[in-house]
Amino acid sequence: MRHTITKIFLVIGLIMTIGCETTDLNLQDNPNELGPESADPNFILNKIQLNFNDIFNGMNEKTMPIVRMEHLYGAYGSYAGSDALNFGQWFDTYAVLKNSNLIDALGEHREISHHQGIAKILKAYTLVLNIDLLNDIPYSEAGDGVNFPQPKTDDAKGLYLELIAELDRAIVLLNMDSDKITSDMFFNGNIENWIKVANTLKLKMYFNQRLIDPAGSAAAINTIVTEGKYIQTQSEDFQFAYSNATTPTDSRHPRFKDNYIKGANVFMSNFYMYLLKDSKLMVDPRLRYYIYRQSNDNEKIEAIPCKGDTGFNFCYIGDYYYGRDHGDDDGIPSDTQSRTIFGAYPFGGAYDNDNFLTGFDSDLTTLEGAGINPIMLSSYVDFMLAETSLTTSFTGDSKAYLVAGITKSMNKVTSFVKTEVTKAAIDSDTAAYIKIVTTEYDAAADDAEKLDIIVREYYLAAFGNGIETYNSHRRTGYPSLIPTNLIKDLGIYPRSFLYPTDEVNSNANFKQKKVTDQVFWDINDADFIN
């Protein structure tokens, strides 16, 4: 269901103020704020949901280029460096924590267990996103600026365990009677779907830990799957839906606004487009939904700066798919109206029907920004279970899960455009694609080759979610990526992100980390990823 996003600002008494000792984490209580009897839990939950989505957006924009889901402009450092997680995302993280705790306090006076449960899930998800990028983060001392003006970081592995327990508490709350929620932007009050999100987040956390505890992860995942209360269908997908509304606030997807209003502001990844277009015996049926070509002007193609330079893997992949190679930071010509841009899925742009119209051409039919943020989809779960089946003692059929993941992805993507298009994918395209992949899978020489196939197909299904692909890449080293031939040094591949500079500079208990530091569940060799 699509929602018009209207940011309902909390009344001034519920806005968390920032202490002076450390820039982001104090969020001290305002002595003049409204008491529990007066505060509206729906307003607070609304703010938590918006903050959570903003956090996902910010992290996604940094991870998609790193994993070649879109073009990486220059070196890795500008994406995972000290300002990669900016003030807004860092502040939003601890605003979610603070507001979740506030809803808990309100729950002592009212029957709002469903508000509490959803707030706990979003708090846990927010913190897991941060842990998976940063490792240790503040938690136990965060949000209490009076007693802990400079909060210390908590051990990431221990915090994972605490958050799993918090998700169990959320499920208990969601199974209780509660006042009605009026501000559910994800499931419109469907509590069963929220329970499935909680269990799926637990599954994802156990899945991430399969390298450090394969038997324990397999057993925990097996329990969740056996109980059956996890995301399995498209109607249960955990996604944030935008609308095409521009008033009273602009509620269109930000990536649509960045590419369809005045011209493209990013390049598509040549490697990703190559995988979709040329890496198999057929073109991926999702290509025209993912990618939109603005121009078929051959003069523009000939003017691509890298043309004729043998130092590039691709430069140009043909058929007017005009992107850039990984790390290419050559000067940008006047090409914002000719380069390839995001298509209809997932950000709400245009389906490529060989239109060759600019993104802002009034004759171009688009979804007008009514896209989604695909946070955790049923197809993703199947790919995770395929990997778990192959690499642990989990009782499942890896090939069957692989096929299910591809099928669900194809169905979701190809049904995203509701208007009739002449070049739309049909069921036989999906069947042919699956036949190619399963034939390759059956012919794989060993489990390593099979794992590469599973992770590659997850990568292709996860377009619009660089976060999960970044996790997969660090956990498995796959999908196999063509090494860059660029003369430019892209720097060290980041195994984690740096802390925000402002927090390090203002909090004496913070010590800046290195991008070579690995998160607790990544125990692969230091040179595992080049």
pLDDT tens, residue order, the chain (530 aa): 333 222 323 332 343 333 333 444 554 444 345 555 668 999 999 999 999 999 999 999 999 999 999 999 999 988 887 677 766 788 999 999 999 999 999 999 899 999 999 999 999 999 999 999 999 999 999 988 889 999 999 999 999 999 999 999 999 999 999 899 999 999 999 999 999 999 999 999 999 999 999 999 999 999 999 999 999 999 999 999 999 999 999 999 999 999 999 889 999 999 999 999 999 999 999 999 999 999 999 999 999 999 888 889 999 999 999 999 999 998 888 899 999 999 999 999 999 999 999 999 999 999 999 999 999 999 999 999 999 999 999 999 999 999 999 999 999 999 999 887 888 888 899 999 999 999 999 999 999 999 999 999 999 999 999 999 999 999 999 999 887 777 678 889 999 999 998 889 999 998 999 999 999 999 999 989 87
- Cβ burial of 44 (10 Å; 0-12, 13-18, 19+) is buried
Phi, psi values for residue 114, rounded to 5°: -70, -40
Of 1.10.287, 1.25.40, 1.20.1070, 1.10.540, which CATH number belongs to 12-186+495-506?
1.25.40
The secondary element (H helix, E strand) that includes residue 342 is strand 341-342
pTM flag (> 0.85) = yes
Distance CA 196, CA 236 (A): 8
- Cβ burial of 290 (10 Å; 0-12, 13-18, 19+) is buried
Number of neighbouring beta carbons within 10 Å of residue 109: 11
Distance CA 225, CA 385 (A): 9
DSSP assignment of 393-454 equals S--S-HHHHHHHHHHHHHHHHHTS--S--TT---HHHHHHHHHHHHHHHHH-SSHHHHHHHH
Amino acid letter, residue 445: A
164: helix, coil or strand? helix
CB 470 within 8 A of CB 494: no
Q: What per-residue confidence (pLDDT) applies to 5?
A: 22
Q: H helices of 264-314, where?
A: 270-277, 287-290, 298-302
- The C-alpha angle with vertex 34 and arms to 29 and 40, in degrees rounded to 5, equals 110
155: helix, coil or strand? coil
Residue spans per domain, the chain = 12-186+495-506, 203-239+376-463, 253-371
Q: What per-residue confidence (pLDDT) applies to 37?
A: 62
Distance CA 336, CA 296 (A): 14
